[in-house]
Structure 1
Amino acid sequence: MVNIIYNKLQCCIVLFLAFSYVLSDRFAIGRAIGTVKTKEFVKHKGTTKSIQGEDGDIIDCVDIYQQPAFNHPLLKNHTIQMKPSSIPGGVRVNSFQEKLFQGWHKSGQCPEATIPIRRSQEDEHSRAMHFKPRRTQLNHSFAAYHKNHEYATVYINGDNFYGASSSINIWKPTVSYDGEISIAQIWVVAGPDELLNTMEAGWNVYSDDQKTRFFIYWTSDGYHETGCYNLECSGFVQTNNEFAIGSPIEAVSSYDSNQYDIGITIYKNNENWWLQVDDQLIGYWPQSIFTYLASSATTVDWGGEIYNSKPGGSHTKTQMGSGHFPDEGYGKASYFRNIQYMDSTGNFRDAEDMGLVLYVTNPSCYNIDVQHDKDYFGNGTHVYFGGPGYSEDKCP
């Protein structure tokens, strides 16, 4: 009898502890977090608070000194720089709309000395490794290897670029097939293709959830071993406690109606490459994690990219930009406005001064058009880009 009672007591204790463990991670800041498998979503090391947004994303507020960046072997003794020593001249920015246009702020805020990191599925981007963002000016062998990537971009080439900037029109293009993606972004690039160094920022839409999300990416070896999306590996140092990289963008443009864009600026200050979104500093890539970008960039690209899985042997129906061609113009086609680069004097200048080059892989499906009326969007070169993808007569 004593043994039976003792065994029942043990069972009760085990059940109580198990229930307490599940409950502790099921609720965050008074909001229920849906039941998820531990293999799918990982709570970040150093989390002091968790928030679930109305869109279902879970944001962990992580101690700024325990963020993933410091797992990088070159950043073990790194001291965080909270802001650059100077702000470059000529940057045109907007004001952030509604707490950096991310809906999770409606459910809570991250405290000072923490940064918000979105919980992601462990294999969220590993499923998409075959369509990492790529440099647009490719040699023939590199382009052939990535023949399912399609681009509509403009770029400049030179010896010493120290930054890039533009405001990118926000849309939610349809991504039609599993494993495909639609991207609008800025590339800052240096090095040969096989050892390519890039810093990338913009928005993308995956087939998985069809949401428009802000993202960043970097690599220092041509996408082979180094680099990752967002904060999924060590490298990028975040300093902003209000912006969750990888979270959905709420304000999305509508055809022939409201238009929204975000200003994205990447620039070098001392030994860091800073990322600024509208008028807010997000953080930086330390130059030490790069080889060729440790000094300056040689190519900067602006534009769109999709991955075409060629379902059934036909071209994908995945859209680029707004899903409409550039000749439809404002309110219908997606745009980049105020396209600029930073020169060696630390000032931003109109990219057209360097001679913008168009790079379009399949103009019948997606295209880009440079506009020379610099006053239309407020003193800056702008482009329209995009397209619908498959059509029986033009893009089979």
Structure 2
Amino acid sequence: MRPESSQPELIQLWHKNEQCPQGTIPIRRTPKHYNYHPNNPSLFHNKLVGAGNFTHEYAVADAVLDENCYGGQASVSVWNPKTELTEFSLSQIWVGSQSQQGSNTIEAGWTVNPRRYHDNMTRFFIYWTGDNYKSTGCYDLDCPGFVQTSRNFAIGSAIPGTSIYGGMPFDITITVYKDKKTGNWWLMVQNLVVGYWPASLFKGFADGASRLTWGGEIINRKSAGHHTTTEMGSGRFSSQGYERSSYFRNVKFIDSSNTLRDPVDLIQYVSNPQCYDLQFMNNTGFGISFFYGGPGYSARCP
């Protein structure tokens, strides 16, 4: 199955100078000073406290499904949130399930992550794990796993357009879907099929996924002795609406017949509503949609 998208292809900055020849794929150059750090990206709502006493904070919508699903989709607005040097801010879709080895997740979205990428640019990224982030999985193409098939998309590269306050929002549509014949999980961005995660990477996806999540996440290290100033989404609370708040629209899951459907009774999960929040939209013409995000440290968020 390849769900349809009417959006144009996402043109990346490197396209201005070069294109990859047939039979090759683009790989982001790694600086000499690059120090690989998995940085425990999304721990799937686990408020894990690790070395340095940091926490993960979320504003997300969960679909815990009665039936296994075969993927998810949504359009997410792209922003460039302020992010402290040793932290990250991301917005993504999680596709997950459980096995005896722990949580299996596939993740795809955009992030600002200075510690990993050594800049403050908004980048498209992927992540996967087959054992609850213990010994398997990685960002982007940092380890064997994701098989890229497109020569026109560089995973980990900067997204050329971001939304502007008061202007027209810019969003991208992300789809993760399972090929029922092979068991592989495919990634599509806009109308471009990028590649797949082989079925052999996971122990808990044989019958599909049991959980889908859409939304935002940050790391809070309290480096200045108070809540971080790292922003989530646009850096504005959900009440500020379409031109200033970040959003997910047309949130869908893929059922066992490979049909895109609206999830029923999404569960809102906001770990620290004083600092980041989420509210569902009503009667927008965008299907199931929500605003989310926030500024972090403020008078409301001490």
The code of the aligned residue for 2:72 comes to: A
| Structure 2: segments with no counterpart, 5+ residues | none
Change (3 A) 1:346 1:368: same
Structure 1 residues 23-51: Cα deviation after superposition (integer angstroms, max 9, x where no partner) = xxxxxxxxxxxxxxxxxxxxxxxxxxxxx
Corresponding position: 1:166 with 2:74: yes
**Structure 2 matches for 1:133-152, cutoff 5 A?**
133-136=42-45, 138=46, 143-145=47-49, 148-152=55-59
1:35 corresponds in structure 2 to none
Instruction: Give the Cα separation in 1 of the matches to 2:17 and 2:43.
Output: 36
Corresponding position: 1:292 with 2:292: no
Change (3 A) 1:211 1:321: same
More helix by share: 1
Change (3 A) 1:339 1:243: same
Instruction: Give the Cα separation in 2 of the matches to 1:200 and 1:144.
Output: 18
Instruction: Give the Cα separation in 2 of the matches to 1:283 and 1:209.
Output: 26
**TM value normalised by structure 1:** 0.71
Instruction: Give the Cα separation in 2 of the matches to 1:105 and 1:253.
Output: 21
**Structure 2 matches for 1:23-172, cutoff 5 A?**
86-88=1-3, 91-96=4-9, 100-121=10-31, 124=34, 126-127=36-37, 129-136=38-45, 138=46, 143-145=47-49, 148-158=55-65, 159-172=67-80
Change (3 A) 1:341 1:374: farther
Instruction: Give the Cα separation in 1 of the matches to 2:33 and 2:106.
Output: 22
How many residues in Structure 1 have an aligned counterpart in Structure 2?
293
Contact 2:101/2:203 (<8 A) preserved: no
The code of the aligned residue for 2:8 comes to: S
Contact 2:101/2:130 (<8 A) preserved: no
1:182 corresponds in structure 2 to 89
Select the residue among 179, 202, 213 that pairs with 1:301: 213
Q: Report the aligned-residue RMSD.
A: 1.7
Contact 2:99/2:203 (<8 A) preserved: no
Q: CA deviation at 1:331?
A: 1.0
Structure 1 residues 230-270: Cα deviation after superposition (integer angstroms, max 9, x where no partner) = 11110111110100000000111100113111100000112
Contact 1:198/1:293 (<8 A) preserved: no
Instruction: Give the Cα separation in 2 of the matches to 1:363 and 1:282.
Output: 35
The code of the aligned residue for 2:80 comes to: K
Instruction: Give the Cα separation in 2 of the matches to 1:256 and 1:374.
Output: 18
**TM value normalised by structure 2:** 0.92
The code of the aligned residue for 1:230 comes to: D
Q: CA deviation at 1:144?
A: 4.8
Corresponding position: 1:210 with 2:101: no
Structure 1 residues 357-389: Cα deviation after superposition (integer angstroms, max 9, x where no partner) = 0010001100111113251x3xx1111110000
2:300 corresponds in structure 1 to 394
Instruction: Give the Cα separation in 1 of the matches to 2:112 and 2:2.
Output: 31
Change (3 A) 1:124 1:222: farther
Instruction: Give the Cα separation in 2 of the matches to 1:102 and 1:253.
Output: 16
Contact 1:153/1:304 (<8 A) preserved: yes
Contact 2:95/2:105 (<8 A) preserved: yes
Q: Which protein has greater RCO, CA pairs closer than 8 Å, 6+ apart?
A: 2
Instruction: Give the Cα separation in 2 of the matches to 1:322 and 1:217.
Output: 22
Larger Rg over CA atoms: 1
Select the residue among 123, 128, 140 that pairs with 1:230: 140
1:275 corresponds in structure 2 to 187
| Structure 1: segments with no counterpart, 5+ residues | 1-85
Instruction: Give the Cα separation in 1 of the matches to 2:159 and 2:243.
Output: 18
Instruction: Give the Cα separation in 2 of the matches to 1:291 and 1:344.
Output: 19
Instruction: Give the Cα separation in 2 of the matches to 1:337 and 1:313.
Output: 36
